[in-house]
C-alpha cells in the first residue's frame, strides 16, 4: 500500500508562523496520522536563531530592532540565519517509523529531493554530510532535525536568493574587520539558484520538480490539504510564545567559536595581550586550516611591511599549535623581523585564542 503524506503549501506567512507551523503540526501528530510536507516562505525578512543559542551573543539585537527585523528562536538546533521570501522552507513532519533511525541517514534522505531538484535545473548540487547541500564547495542550503512531541522533523530550504550583506550585518561580531571577513566569506562560500542560473526560477516550477522527486524517493502519495483546526490553534499558541521576550532570551547551552559560514568554514577573532602590546587576530578557517588571516593591534614590528608577509606565510597552515608555532618560527627567522615583546610563542597564543585552541606554553 502506498504511503500517504499530507502536502500543505502555505505560501507566504509571517516570520514567526514560518517557524511555528511545523512545530504545531509536529506537536499535534498522533499515532497512525499521516506525515506531512509543509512548504512555506516568510512574507518579510527576519532572523532565526537555534534552540541552544543565546540571542544577545549571536545576533546584533540593537541593529535588528532598528531595522525592523524580528528575531525568532526555533526548537531546532543550528546557528543564527537571516531569512526572507527568497527561500522556500521544506519541512518534513513524519512518524518515527517513516524515517531512518539515524539522524545522519535522515539528513541524507531529506537532501535527495532537493539535490535532484537542483540538478534538474542544471545546478550540480550534492549532499555534504552531515547537514549541508553544496555546489562546487559552496553551500546552497543547510538541514536541521528535531523531535517535536512524537513527530520526527527535518527542515531545510530551496535557496532561490540570499541576502549575504544583511546576513553579515545581523550577526554579532567583535569588530567591523571581522564583519567584513564574514561578508567576504559568505560571498566565497555560499550560493543560490539565482547565482547559479543567472536568473530567479519560478517558484511553481521548482516546487513541482521538488514534489515529483519527493513522491519517487519516499514512495508516497502526496495529498494536498490544509492545517486542521487543532494545528491552527496550536500554531497560534506557539506564535505568542515564540514572539515573547522570555522565549527569545532563553539561555542556550552551546556556542561555537566564531561565525560558521558552512560545515568547513568559520570566521574567528580574538584579542590577546602580549608583553609587546595587544594583538588582534581575525581569520578564516577552511577545514581547520588558516585560509586567510589579518593581524592588527598596538604591537611593533620592524620592518612594518613584514606583517603582511607574515600573514601570507601563515595561510594554508593547519590550525594546530605545533604547526602554527613552527610556521611562525620559520617566518621570524626567514624574514629577519624584529617584534619587541611579541615572540613566535606569543603570536601563536593569539592565533590559538581565536581558533578556540590552547596554544603552546
Query: Can you list the domains of the chain with their CATH numbers?
Result: 3-248 (3.30.930.10), 265-355 (3.30.390.50)
At residue 297, the pLDDT reads 79
Average pLDDT (183-189) is 96
C-alpha 19/C-alpha 285 separation (Å) is 31
pLDDT tens digits, 274-328: 888 888 899 999 989 999 999 987 787 877 778 888 998 999 999 999 999 999 9
pLDDT of residue 338 exceeding 60, the answer is yes
C-alpha 182/C-alpha 314 separation (Å) is 19
Query: Which pLDDT band, with edges at 50, 70 and 90, does 361 fall under?
Result: very low
Give the H/E segment covering residue 61.
helix 61-67
Average pLDDT (22-43) is 97
* Strands 46-49 and 35-42, sheet pairing: unpaired
At residue 254, the pLDDT reads 46
At residue 256, the pLDDT reads 54
At residue 252, the pLDDT reads 55
pLDDT of residue 358 exceeding 70, the answer is no
| 146/216: higher pLDDT | 216
Query: Which pLDDT band, with edges at 50, 70 and 90, does 32 fall under?
Result: very high
Query: How many residues are recorded in the chain?
Result: 361
Helices then strands, counting H and E runs in the chain, come out as: 13, 16
pLDDT tens digits, 256-277: 567 889 888 999 998 888 888 8
Give the H/E segment covering residue 28.
helix 15-28
Q: Which of 107-111, 138-142, 171-175 is the least confident region?
A: 171-175
* Secondary structure (3-state) at 53: coil
| 213/53: higher pLDDT | 213
Who's near 134: CB < 8 A, 6+ residues apart? 125, 126, 128, 140, 262
C-alpha 190/C-alpha 175 separation (Å) is 22
C-alpha 312/C-alpha 335 separation (Å) is 12
Amino acid at each position: 500500500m502506498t504511503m500517504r503524506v499530507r502536502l500543505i503549501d502555505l505560501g507566504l506567512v509571517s516570520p514567526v508562523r514560518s517557524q511555528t507551523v511545523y512545530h504545531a503540526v509536529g506537536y499535534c501528530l498522533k499515532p497512525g496520522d499521516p506525515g506531512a510536507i509543509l512548504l512555506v516562505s516568510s512574507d518579510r525578512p527576519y532572523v532565526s536563531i537555534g534552540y541552544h543559542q543565546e540571542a544577545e551573543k549571536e545576533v546584533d539585537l540593537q541593529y535588528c530592532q532598528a531595522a525592523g527585523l524580528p528575531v525568532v528562536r526555533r526548537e531546532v538546533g543550528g546557528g543564527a540565519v537571516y531569512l526572507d521570501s527568497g527561500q522556500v522552507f521544506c519541512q518534513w513532519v513524519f512518524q518515527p517509523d517513516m524515517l531512518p533511525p539515524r539522524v545522519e541517514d535522515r539528513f541524507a534522505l531529506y537532501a535527495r529531493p532537493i539535490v535532484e531538484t537542483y540538478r534538474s535545473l542544471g545546478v550540480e548540487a550534492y549532499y555534504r554530510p552531515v547537514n549541508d547541500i553544496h555546489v562546487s564547495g559552496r553551500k546552497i542550503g543547510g538541514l536541521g532535525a528535531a523531535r517535536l512531541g512524537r513527530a520526527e522533523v527535518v527542515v531545510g530550504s530551496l535557496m532561490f536568493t540570499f541576502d549575504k550583506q544583511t546576513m553579515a550585518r545581523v550577526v554579532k561580531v567583535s569588530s567591523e574587520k571581522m564583519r567584513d571577513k564574514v561578508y567576504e566569506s559568505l560571498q566565497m562560500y555560499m550560493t543560490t539558484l539565482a547565482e547559479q542560473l543567472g536568473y530567479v526560477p519560478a517558484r511553481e516550477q521548482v516546487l513541482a520538480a521538488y514534489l515529483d522527486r519527493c513522491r519517487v524517493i519516499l514512495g508516497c502519495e502526496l495529498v494536498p490539504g490544509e492545517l486542521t483546526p487543532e494545528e491552527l490553534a496550536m500554531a497560534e499558541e506557539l506564535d505568542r510564545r515564540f514572539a515573547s521576550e522570555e522565549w527569545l532570551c532563553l539561555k542556550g547551552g552551546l556556542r561555537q567559536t566564531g561565525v560558521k559560514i558552512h560545515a568547513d568554514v568559520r570566521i574567528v577573532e580574538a584579542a590577546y595581550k602580549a608583553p609587546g602590546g595587544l594583538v588582534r587576530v581575525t581569520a578564516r578557517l577552511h577545514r581547520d586550516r588558516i585560509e586567510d588571516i589579518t593581524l592588527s593591534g598596538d604591537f611593533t614590528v620592524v620592518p612594518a611591511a613584514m606583517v603582511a608577509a607574515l600573514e601570507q606565510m601563515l595561510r594554508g597552515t593547519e590550525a594546530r599549535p605545533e604547526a602554527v608555532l613552527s610556521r611562525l618560527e620559520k617566518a621570524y627567522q626567514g624574514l629577519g623581523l624584529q617584534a619587541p615583546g611579541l615572540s613566535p610563542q606569543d603570536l601563536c597564543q593569539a592565533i590559538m585564542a581565536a581558533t578556540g585552541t590552547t596554544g603552546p606554553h
